[in-house]
Chain A
Amino acid sequence: MYRLLLCFRYLRTRYIALASIISVTLGVATLIVVNSVMSGFSAEMHERLHGLASDILVECHASGGMPDPEGHLAEIKRIVGDDLEGASVSVHVPSMLGIDFNGQLITRHVNLVGIDAATYDKVSQFGRYLIHPENQKQVDFNLRETGFAESREGFPASGWHYRRARVSYERALAEEQARVEAINREAEKLSSGKPPQRTGDAPSAGQEAVAGLIEDDQDSEAENAFAAAGPTMGGFLPPELGGGQGAAEAAVFDPATEQYPGIILGISTCSNKLRDDSGNVRDHYYCRPGDDIRMMFPSASENPKVLNQKFTVVDLYESGMSEYDSTFAFVRLDQLQDLRGMIDPVTGVRSVTTIQLKLVEGANLNAVRDALRDRFPPDTFAYSIQTWRDMQGPLLAAVRLETTILNILLFLIIAVAGFGILATFFMIVVEKTRDIGTLKALGASGGGVMSIFLSYGLLLGIVGSGVGLVGGIAFVHHINEIAGVIEKITGQEVFDPTVYYFTEIPTILNPFTLAWVMAGAVAIATTASVLPAMRAARMHPVTALRFE
């Protein structure tokens, strides 16, 4: 009993020991914060990586793809059995994206994916990352009227509404230009010596009306050039694909009511994150839903030719993973197959390049992958069969390694704190020498005296790591506010949204982690008190009583 009483009293009266335990508190709090941020980070990353990639990906590297996808699917179903939850076929083809912006051609290398909208959503969380709320529910490659990302600040007007306004503006502008040119020609014919009238001096009523609808003034110039020049890229493309096609289309195609095949672009392929003068991150869009863009990609024939096809952007795709957002563009599978000529002229069977599989929850991905590799050995089939973890292996491993190293480092900090406790306890034992002698004179055993200091160490460990636990959890709960405050004070952005995938710091508090951090810290504090406690227990009562 005296042990408990005394160690509680020591706890209340020895502030030096509390000071030594602060390092344990800080260590525990830091461990909790680091672990929850790291696990939040990696969980978020896992989710996003996994969200886009299906569980298992069977890729065919041949340009023409794998013939008879139905047969392949049946064979895969036979091998995988009940573990298979869903499957989707698609065509992946490297391609070049061309966006006309301010009269300049912006090109990007993208991975053009032809997807089967009905099944693709089953194998990955594709729809979830589209910015139109209706498309999130059901992907549609037809342009929607309006309602793109209404909650997003600074997102330009998009959809049919915008497309019609843009087209009528372009037309009015073209008419006005034609009129001005006609007047100028008249004027030259008359050769009265007056300077030709400029377009900008007399804007027509129609031009003013539509200008209001188009928010981005810079864009109007681009579209002006776009509309006026028609297929601007025609010049450097094979004549049968470029100019000819463009000229034929121009005759019949009415952009105000019609659209090209729909395409969904990764948001980073057509936008740029930049900071404005006040330091806020702004998105700048080169094109938006409703605009037309060009894709150039090889045909599937044995002598591949470059195909040049116009598409209408119908939605943007933002997963938060820059790797995906900056390299993917999605179109309809059947349209891409038609364009690339991936249909067997005899049988009419359409070939694909990729089969994506979704397995049931808890299925052993590696076992399924190995079974598929056995069936489609790489020396016979030019297939690469990978799980999503294989594809993102280095990234996931790096995050795991970082977490492990941070944990080791922080535990070393707590261990250093342990040595602080050791020193402090030795001091306390020396200070309490006479009391130890008194207790022994009153009949306390060596073990009893030892347990005073052991339980004191245990108590300090519990108090220290308990405070650390509460502090750490509180910190994690308010981490975004705290980051904001630090930003204000230092002027340095803690969590730079142009660098990271997330705008907020993701955190996950894992009860198991909390438990072992607590247990570890308490164990270190108790271990540090063992040596001083043993010294106290071994102290000779006569020496202790005589101690001055």
Chain B
Amino acid sequence: MNPLLEARGICKSYYKNKIELPVLRGVDVAFQHGEVSALVGRSGSGKSTLMHLLATLDQPDAGEVWFGGQRVDNLSRRQRDEYRNRQIGIIFQFYHLLPELSALENVLTPAMISRSVLGYCRDRKALTLRAEAMLDRVGLLDRKTHKPAEMSGGEMQRVAIARSLMSEPELLLADEPTGNLDTETGESILQLLRQLNTEDDLTIVMITHDETIAERADRCYRMQDGLLVDRFTVEPAEETFTPRARVVA
């Protein structure tokens, strides 16, 4: 079976004072449909950069990104915008909600971005219903008129998840979704993500530096110094971190 999202030989360097700082040095990774995968690594290991490349927010120096059997990294700017808007959902460590908009409006943002003023006005009712359904899904329907400033971190992350689901994506990219939350709240977010995975068959790629969180994924990839060093499948029965099915990437 073809993987949903695949990176082939990705290289990326940043330049500081004309000195090349390689961040990714040839990463090959494939994410299967319907799986929850985790990318673990210390800060500076290049996992965030990899995620930006997967989301086409940045372009690789070498290598290719494939999504659903189509190469996406070399698409035109407009097509990449559309890919981010329609095919994937992204959530961030710092939620990145727009502070001027209410929860409902934040959830509606992707729909607004993809439509003209007229198109949006025409579909407004259906879109509002869908946005409310998404808020209901994350359990925040009663907070729809609240601004981000009036919400807790966990609530904001739930709104961000609702927003990422707005355009019915197949893939959710999550950059440290619990990184800014306490353990309990983080736990509920993780449960929500798992629920979305099982109920909607949503493929999730999650970046984390927390091994215990990574353990709970279906598949785990370890990154170090710009290389994928480890790949293992977590066995549900295992309580502690004992990588069994170890495959060298």
Contact = CB atoms under 8 A, between A and B. Distances in A.
A23 to B, nearest CB: 25
B98 A438 contact: yes
B1 to A, nearest CB: 28
Contact of A2 (B57, B92, B94, B113): B113
A442 B101 contact: no
Interface stretch (A5-13, A340-348, A371-379): A5-13
Contacts of A439: 98, 109, 113
A443 B82 contact: yes
Given A1-B117, A2-B113, A444-B81, A435 B52 contact: no
Interface in A409-436: 434-435
* Chain B contact surface mostly: helix
A445 B114 CA distance: 10
25 contacts: A1-B112, A1-B116, A2-B112, A4-B117, A5-B112, A9-B100, A9-B101, A434-B94, A434-B96, A435-B98, A435-B99, A438-B92, A441-B55, A441-B96, A442-B84, A442-B85, A443-B82, A443-B83, A443-B84, A444-B81, A444-B113, A445-B78, A448-B113, A542-B52, A545-B57
Contacts of A6: 98, 100-101
B115 interface: yes
A437 interface: yes
Interface in A251-290: none
A448 B114 CA distance: 10
Interface of A: 1-2, 4-6, 9-10, 13, 434-435, 437-446, 448, 540-542, 545
Interface residues of B, number: 33
B132 interface: no
B57 A442 contact: no
Interface in B27-73: 52, 55, 57-58
Given A542-B52, A542-B58, A443 B98 contact: no
Contacts of A440: 57, 81
A403 to B, nearest CB: 42
B158 interface: no
A435 B97 CA distance: 8
A77 B79 CA distance: 79
Contacts of B114: 443
Given A441-B55, A443-B82, A541-B57, 14 more contacts: A1-B121, A2-B113, A6-B98, A6-B101, A435-B96, A438-B92, A439-B113, A440-B57, A441-B57, A442-B84, A443-B85, A443-B113, A443-B114, A545-B57
B109 A2 contact: yes
Contacts of A444: 81, 113
Name the 5 nearest CB pairs between A and B, nearest first.
A443-B85, A9-B100, A2-B112, A1-B120, A1-B112
B120 A445 contact: no
B110 A443 contact: yes
A433 to B, nearest CB: 11
Contacts of A443: 81-86, 110, 113-114
Contacts of A441: 55, 57, 84, 90, 92, 96
A545 B81 contact: no
Contacts of A10: 100
Please indicate which of the listed interface residues A4, A9, A441, A545 has the most CB atoms of chain B within 10 Å of its own CB: A441
Nearest to A540: B58
B246 interface: no
